[in-house]
Amino acid sequence: MLEQALRWIEKDGGLDARIVFLGDYVDRGPDSQKVLDLLIHGQKLGCNWVFLKGNHDRMFDWFLQTPSRSDPHLFIDHSWLHERLGGQNTLKSYGLHFKNRCRFYELHSAALDAVPKNHHEFLTNCQLSYESKDLYFCHAGIRPGVALQSQSEEDLLWIRDEFHNFRRQHDKIIVHGHTPLNAATHYNNRINLDSGSGYGQSLTAAVFEGTDCYILSDKGRMQLFPKN
């Protein structure tokens, strides 16, 4: 899906088109390692790409730290390795297979050996946000009433209800993912591009001209209009 989306973007905007990736490169499928390989390869080639950090990217980053860290947003009986969160699938993509009775320090040590150092560095160095004249890009959303330059990392990676339920305009249109939908949706003050690719649905690639949003496909552009 990712390679197809990149082909659509190249066809629409050329080889030097700026691409802003909204995060969650891992945990959502069997090919996390290949996804990071592709993104890092593009980075080395000097592609005009911006990588934003998702909450799952941070969980993987923190797992690889010494000592390993757990995200405080998780339920107390969950960890990144919980089957609902995808950490096991990510480690399997690096060739790690383990049983539930495996001790944490053993798995952590094996992961440090299996995951290339440049993969960990990539995750650590992903940006939290990116903005243009009219648009503000982040993984999850922003906290209403807080200046864009003062948004916290926790909100940019995790926020949902307070952001989704806010109907008034922000300083810029917020472009985000994090909460999967059946299709990309324009809410007037924000645009959610998460169309559920991590759950077997499509991956959305969009192009912006000012505040106008167009969804790309094999057929070219289709404008995404705000919901009534």
Domain end: 93, 125, 157, which one? 125
pTM for the full predicted model: 0.95
Give the burial string for 165-201 (b: 16+ CB within 10 Å, else e): ebeeebebbbbbbbbeeeebbbeebbbbbbbbbbeee
| Helix or strand run (H / E) with residue 226 | none
How many structural domains is the chain composed of? 2
Q: Determine, yes or no, domain membership for 11.
A: no
Res 77: pLDDT? 87
Residues 151, 92 share a domain: no
CB atoms within 10 A of CB 149: 8
pLDDT, position 1: 86
- Identify whether residues 118 and 196 lie together within a single domain: no
Report yes or no on 152 lying in a domain: yes
Of 125, 157, 188, the residue that ends a domain is 125
Instruction: Please give the residue range of the domain that contains residue 220.
Output: 135-224
pLDDT of residue 100: 73
Q: Please report where in the chains the tokens 């993509």 appear, as a residue.
A: 93
Q: What is the pLDDT of residue 201?
A: 83
Residue 19 covered by a domain: no
Residue 130: inside a domain, yes or no?
no
**Based on the domain organization, do 109 and 34 belong to the same domain?**
yes
* Residue 153: HSE in the Cβ half-sphere, 13 Å Cα cutoff: 12
Q: In terms of Cα–Cα distance, which of 171, 190, 169, 189 is closest to 179?
A: 190
Q: Is there a single domain that holds both residue 218 and residue 155? A: yes
What is the predicted pLDDT for the residue at 101?
78
pLDDT score of 220? 94
pLDDT score, position 95: 96
Identify whether residues 162 and 185 lie together within a single domain. yes
d(C-alpha 164, C-alpha 144), whole Å: 10
pLDDT at 121: 98
User: Which of the listed residues 125, 158, 186 is the one where a domain comes to its end?
Assistant: 125
pLDDT of residue 214: 98
Please indicate, yes or no, whether residues 112 and 195 belong to a single structural domain of this protein: no
**Within a domain: 6:** no
pLDDT at res. 200: 79
Q: What is the pLDDT along the chain (228 residues), one digit of tens a residue?
A: 899 999 999 999 999 999 999 999 999 888 999 999 999 999 999 999 999 999 999 999 999 999 999 999 999 889 999 988 999 999 999 999 887 778 999 999 999 999 999 999 999 999 999 999 999 999 999 999 999 999 999 999 999 999 999 999 999 999 999 999 999 999 999 999 999 888 878 899 999 999 999 999 999 999 999 987
State whether 139 and 65 are in the same domain: no
Q: Are residues 121 and 197 in the same domain?
A: no
